[in-house]
Structure 1
Amino acid sequence: MMEHSIETAKQRNRLKEAARETGRNLGLVLYALYALFPLIWMLICTFKSDTEMYNTVFIFRPTLANYQAVLLGTDYVRAFFQNMIVSGGAVLLTVVAGVPAAYALARYDFRKKDDIAFQILSFKFAPEIMVILPIFLIFQKIGLYDTYFGLIWVYQLITMPLLIWVVRGYFEDISVEVEQAASLDGYCWYEVFLKTLLPLIKPGLVASGLLAFIFAWNSFTFPLILSGFRIQTLTITSLRYISSETVHYGQVAVAATVAVLPEIVACLFIQKHLVRGLSFGAVKG
């Protein structure tokens, strides 16, 4: 009799645990649908015609006319690759110049080091509209207006401050004895930096590099003023689907959907580094 009661209690506990597990999974599914609903809705709008945009919700006649108009009828594809060149080049220059700067701010003691670090960070907080006019005049005088290098250079104002501060926190958390031990093993200074320090700061470097790419990819003010007919990024090209007479919401949805794909793909590939990279290194300094 007692063994039967014990078995019944175990079955009851297993049912309760299964019910709790099902409830947790259902809650996660509902939260995922809630979080992804804007993307799902934007994807649905890409298959709607302008006449059905307001009249229907989920039941409509799908069409590929919006994709044809965006991907075949305009310069959107060219702008996509130009945006990739500018954003990728900006991140590459940020990493090459920003990592040594972060190391110097973390390791060396010199006058007003903290003031310089804060000044670098303040560039990220300053509104772009404050500096765009003098930059525009300077670029026209030195021939950088409507060039790849001009946009890549000016994008450092929005990409480099974040990377320097995140990576600086990682360098500060690495003990100096690690570098000294590597030097005793026969490594020269650049081998210590490349083979010992860079692997240790990889999570922070990847996370800050991804955010720098997102900031550069989504930039609007700088390419609006500093680019012309030769170079146009996605944020500028997408304005073609908005006119004073009407807004082609289906085409806008296609442009937005294609524009977020590189960011989503990059996040999926490096997601294991994001949580540690953003929560660990960024709180230092």
Structure 2
Amino acid sequence: MDTQSTLEKVLRGIAITAVILFFMFPIFWIFLMSFQTNETILRVPPSIVFEPTLTNYKALITGRLESTAGALEIEFMSNLFNSAYLSTMAVIVGLILGVPAAYAFGRLKFRGSEDIAFTLLSFRFAPPLLVLLPLTIYFQQIGLANTYFGLIWVYQLIVLPLILWIVRGYFEDIPADIEYAYRIAGHGFWATFRKIALPLAMPGIAAAGLLAFIFAWNNFIFALVLASADKQPVTVGALAFVTASGIQYGQIAAGIVLSILPTLALALYAQRYLVEGLSLGAVKG
């Protein structure tokens, strides 16, 4: 029995290791590419043995890309800032609007609530091209085209339905008796929401905020159409690496590494926060 249990653990460990290597290898390969020149990347057969260089990162940070066709000015760091600003502000606005709405849908059952909630969720299912043309015309008429403010509101089509449905599920899982007891003690609706419901649902809010940030960060089509170069995020700015002289694979790889660092850091931080939040919630319960 012990031998069989040990064998199962070994096989499970091998299977988990194989799965991790399978999914992590592309990221590892891109990381290696970021330290190579185009000539090294395109050689056949490929090899993990090469002389590393920081040229790609230097080009991104300085904003000057050297190619066979000459020097090319790129605004990668500006695009990186745009991504961080747009995603952060979009998530903040989404949480301000979505968390109270999620609580209302989770606690206040009124006629048509499910239909309204599903309609909001359907915005997440709709392809962006469906709304791009009317949005472009509308934004040009009211002066929101090529503005951070306009992009942040458009990003609500991405983040708001996600926040609404994830957080709503957490509010519904909170026993209503806890809130009723707090209300009977003489506290109002807003105080109950702020001091009872919000702390208990904080793990769900954190998870929703993290996922919304990642989806907003990865958005491409909205910023491509509704913003010019000085407002575009890194997903659109990466098109600058496709030049007349060819595709700059090394700079693209370095750009991918730099662009995933903020979301990776946020994910690692939020993971620890979620564990702490769930532990505190279990103690309180």
- TM-score tier by shorter-chain length is 0.7 to 0.9
* Contact 1:146–1:229 (Cα < 8 Å) also in 2: no
Q: Which sections of structure 1, spanning at least 5 residues, go unmatched?
A: 1-11, 278-285
Aligned partner of 1:77 in structure 2 is 77
> What secondary structure does 1:239 align onto?
helix
Aligned partner of 2:51 in structure 1 is 61
Q: C-alpha distance in 2, partners of 1:19/1:102?
A: 47
Matches within 5 A, 1:197-212: 197-212=197-212
Q: C-alpha distance in 1, partners of 2:13/2:113?
A: 50
Q: C-alpha distance in 2, partners of 1:273/1:165?
A: 21
Q: C-alpha distance in 2, partners of 1:95/1:223?
A: 21
* Contact 2:79–2:234 (Cα < 8 Å) also in 1: yes
The one-letter code sitting in structure 2 at the alignment partner of 1:65 is T
Greater CA drift, 76-85 or 87-96: 76-85
Aligned partner of 1:224 in structure 2 is 224
Q: C-alpha distance in 1, partners of 2:49/2:176?
A: 63
Q: C-alpha distance in 2, partners of 1:175/1:22?
A: 41
The one-letter code sitting in structure 2 at the alignment partner of 1:69 is A
Aligned partner of 2:20 in structure 1 is 32
Matched, 1:242 2:232: no
The one-letter code sitting in structure 1 at the alignment partner of 2:22 is Y
Give TM-score, length-normalised by structure 2: 0.85
How many Å apart are 1:132 and its aligned residue? 0.6
- Tell me the percent identity: 41
Q: C-alpha distance in 2, partners of 1:118/1:187?
A: 32
Matches within 5 A, 1:1-285: 24-55=12-43, 56-73=46-63, 74-271=74-271
Greater CA drift, 36-45 or 259-268: 259-268
Q: C-alpha distance in 2, partners of 1:146/1:266?
A: 28
> What secondary structure does 1:187 align onto?
coil
How many Å apart are 1:190 and its aligned residue? 2.1
Q: C-alpha distance in 2, partners of 1:180/1:24?
A: 46
Q: CA RMSD in A?
A: 2.2
Q: 1:7-33: per-residue Cα shift (whole Å, max 9, x none)?
A: xxxxx95x8876765555454434322
How many Å apart are 1:145 and its aligned residue? 1.1
* Contact 1:207–1:273 (Cα < 8 Å) also in 2: no
Larger-gyration structure (1/2): 1
The one-letter code sitting in structure 2 at the alignment partner of 1:58 is I
Q: C-alpha distance in 1, partners of 2:223/2:12?
A: 45
What is the count of residue pairs matched by the alignment? 264
Q: C-alpha distance in 2, partners of 1:17/1:138?
A: 64
Give TM-score, length-normalised by structure 1: 0.85
Q: C-alpha distance in 1, partners of 2:18/2:249?
A: 27
> What secondary structure does 1:52 align onto?
helix
